[in-house]
């Protein structure tokens, strides 16, 4: 939409930006006031790859969320890969995947218009009620694993599975969201490349720090989320990206913490296999992990579990589309973005 002066209407917000000198800074980001039939509203949240805005589709009379991927590479090849990853994810239909309505770009800024889920995120739930017991954990994660399995069946890797990217609606149904880093297997090579590095370090498989990934990389992330749900803290913590990378690669998984929280041997075995250092020894895909989780269910009372979860969600802060990025350097992808930029500079200087 253009104003009376003939200029396109815009809005300006402050966002975190990755800098080349290993720092982050708040910087203004100018966005169009509307994209297509969607009028933008307030800022909902911000992650490493972009910012999420509330929106209202005036043509279809429904609320939506719009994510602008401002922290991604702006060159044409990278932009094409981002958009193709989003479009591949959008083609996957599953009751536990946030629906992607459209994928486009405003100039050189890719954006995705998606279903707006009205409940909180798993990050919100864990802040309020962690650790969760095994029945409630299974109630949440079995449908999530099934949703990721649908992505894997379509040769799509999510690449950024974490508590902030698991949302709940008002009926406490869980959803996988945020496909800003999604990619297809056809676009990836196992050989490894700095351009392939992406994700949230707390949940990244060892090979992802080297730019290699596969469906087993998502399995590792799901295992890391399971661990955090059952214990109340991440499996590995560090203050720097290099230390976090080393812990994922070499530190023993602290299985004793699971036992101390009363987690049964069968469930511990599932988490241990999902988070194996060697990708080939993990579950082959999220579908296999989901079936292993289903085998741990005993006397499930879905109605009671849904009621328990809803009580937690109602008391948790709302997170309509995305939670803010964590503040520790080892917990965000800004370090990875800076590493990618540094790699490009090294290549340019050769």
Instruction: List pLDDT tens digits, range 267-288.
Output: 999 999 999 999 999 999 999 9
pLDDT at site 5: 44
pTM here? Answer: 0.86
> Which two structure tokens, joined as six digits, stand for 31?
């966005």
Active-site positions?
160
Report, as an integer, the average pLDDT of 6-21.
66
CA–CA dist 111, 31 (Å, integer): 11
Q: Is the pLDDT of residue 343 over 50?
A: yes
Show the 3-state SS of the chain: CECCCCCECEEEEEEEEECCCCCEEEEEEEEECEECCEEEEEEEEECCCCEEEEEEECCCCEEEEEEECCCCCCCHHHHHHHHHHHHHHHCCCCCCECCEEEEEEECCEEEEEEECCCCCEHHHHHHHHCCCCHHHHHHHHHHHHHHHHHHHHCCEECCCCCHHHEEECCCCCEEECCCCCCEEHHHCCCCCCHHHCCCCHHHCCHHHHHCCCCHHHHHHHHHHHHHHHHHCCCCCCCCCHHHHHHHHHHCCCCHHHHHHCCCCHHHHHHHHHHCCCCHHHCCCCHHHHHHHHHCCCCCCCHHHHHHHHHHHHHHCCCCCCCCCCCCCHHHCCHHHHHHHHHHHHHHHHC
Mean pLDDT of 96-122: 91
Homologous superfamily, domain 10-116: Phosphorylase Kinase; domain 1 (3.30.200.20)
Over residues 138-167, the pLDDT tens digits come to: 999 999 999 999 999 999 999 999 999 999
| pLDDT tier at 329, thresholds 50, 70, 90 | very low
Is it the case that residue 22 has pLDDT exceeding 50? no
Lowest mean pLDDT among 2-11, 32-41, 73-82: 2-11
Q: What is the pLDDT of residue 198?
A: 79
Cis before 131 (ω within 30) = yes
Round to whole Å and give the CA distance between 89 and 86: 5
User: In this structure, what token pair is assigned to residue 163?
Assistant: 């508590």
- Under CATH, which number does the domain 122-337 receive? 1.10.510.10
What does the pLDDT read at residue 291? 99
Query: Where are the domains positioned within the chain?
Result: 10-116, 122-337
Phi and psi torsions of 124, nearest 5°:
-60, -45
Asked if pLDDT for residue 37 goes beyond 60, the answer is yes
Summarised one tens digit per residue, pLDDT across range 252-266 is: 999 999 999 999 999
The burial class, CB within 10 Å (0-12 / 13-18 / 19+), for 331 is buried
User: Taking the CA of residue 78 as centre, how many other CA atoms within 13 Å lie in the half-sphere pointing to its CB?
Assistant: 20
Q: Per-residue pLDDT for 12 more than 50?
A: yes
Q: What are residue 34's DSSP bridge partners?
A: 39
pLDDT digits (tens, 9 = 90+) for 192-243: 555 567 789 999 999 999 989 999 999 999 999 999 999 999 999 999 999 9
The predicted structure's pLDDT at residue 119: 83
Residue 169 pLDDT > 90, yes or no?
A: yes
pLDDT of residue 252: 98
% the chain with pLDDT above 90: 62
């Amino acid at each position: 939409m253009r104003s009376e002066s003939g200029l396109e209407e815009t809005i300006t917000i402050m966002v975190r930006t990755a800098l080349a000198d290993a720092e982050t800074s708040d910087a203004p980001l100018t966005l169009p006031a509307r994209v297509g039939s969607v009028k933008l509203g307030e800022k909902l949240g911000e992650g490493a790859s972009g910012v999420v805005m509330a929106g209202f589709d005036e043509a279809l009379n429904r609320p939506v969320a719009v994510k602008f991927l401002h922290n991604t590479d702006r060159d044409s090849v990278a932009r094409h890969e981002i958009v193709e990853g989003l479009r591949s994810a959008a083609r996957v239909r599953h009751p536990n995947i946030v629906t992607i309505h459209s994928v486009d770009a405003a100039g050189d800024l890719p954006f995705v218009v998606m279903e707006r889920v009205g409940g909180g995120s798993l990050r919100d739930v864990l802040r309020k009620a962690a650790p969760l017991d095994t029945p409630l954990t299974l109630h949440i994660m079995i449908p999530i694993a099934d949703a990721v399995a649908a992505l894997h069946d379509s040769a799509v890797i999510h690449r950024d599975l974490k508590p902030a990217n698991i949302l709940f609606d008002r009926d406490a149904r869980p959803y996988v969201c945020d496909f800003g880093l999604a990619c297809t297997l056809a676009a990836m090579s196992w050989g490894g490349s700095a351009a392939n590095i992406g994700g949230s370090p707390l949940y990244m498989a060892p090979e992802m720090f080297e730019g290699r990934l596969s469906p087993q990389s998502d399995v590792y992330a799901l295992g890391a989320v399971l661990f955090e749900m059952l214990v109340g803290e991440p499996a590995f913590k560090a203050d720097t990206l290099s230390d976090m990378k080393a812990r994922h690669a070499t530190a023993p998984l602290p299985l004793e913490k699971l036992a101390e929280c009363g987690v049964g041997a069968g469930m511990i075995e599932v988490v241990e296999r999902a988070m194996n250092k060697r990708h080939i020894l993990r579950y082959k895909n999220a579908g296999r992990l989901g079936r292993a989780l289903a085998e741990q269910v005993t006397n499930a009372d879905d109605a009671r579990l849904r009621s328990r979860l809803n009580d937690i969600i109602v008391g948790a802060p709302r997170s309509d589309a995305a939670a803010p990025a964590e503040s520790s350097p080892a917990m965000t992808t800004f370090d990875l973005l800076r590493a990618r930029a540094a790699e490009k500079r090294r290549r340019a200087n050769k």
